[in-house]
Amino acid sequence: MIRLPLFCMTVLALAGCVQSPATRTASAPAQPQQPPQQDCAPPVYPQEALQARMSGVSMMAFLVGSDGAVRESRLLKSSGYAILDQAAEAALRLCRFKPALKNGQTVAAWQPVQYAWSLP
């Protein structure tokens, strides 16, 4: 497999107790370091974007359902390239998370996420 450029992903703790995002970094094709509360692979850097030397940060918000599935996502700030934003959104739809708790019950909750697309 071809070694892809460094990919960074910032995710807030899904319990809703952290106000600023924690940073998580992974280099493809190595497995990303993931907190135990999530099952989420980093998005694949689109080949077209690599060839065109596109980079940027896709800032999004996503709704984690009470079952841990991503129910909805919204682009808050574009990376400047629709192809990168779409790749981030597609990857996020495949993720599963530990849902938030309220009064001991799992509930749906919105969380922010930031995908940083950087070239070598």
Query: Does some domain include residue 1?
Result: no
Residue 58 sits in a domain of what CATH number? Answer: 3.30.2420
CA distances from 9 to 42, 56, 75, 117 (A): 7, 12, 15, 9
Q: CB atoms < 10 A from the CB of 8, how many? A: 17
Which DSSP string do the residues of 38-92 spell out, in sequence order? EE-PPPPPPHHHHHTT--EEEEEEEEEPTTSBEEEEEEEE--S-HHHHHHHHHHH
pLDDT (0 to 100) of residue 39: 83
pLDDT (0 to 100) of residue 25: 30
Q: What is the pLDDT along the chain (120 residues), one digit of tens a residue?
A: 333 333 333 333 332 322 233 333 323 322 233 333 678 888 899 999 999 999 999 999 999 999 999 999 999 999 999 999 999 999 999 999 999 999 999 999 999 999 999 987
User: What gap in Å lies between CA 15 and CA 12, rounded to an integer?
Assistant: 9
Query: Does some domain include residue 35?
Result: no
Query: Does some domain include residue 36?
Result: no
pLDDT (0 to 100) of residue 67: 94
Kindly report whether the global pTM for this prediction surpasses the value 0.75: no
Count of structural domains, the chain: 1
Query: Does some domain include residue 18?
Result: no
pLDDT (0 to 100) of residue 10: 34
pLDDT (0 to 100) of residue 115: 92
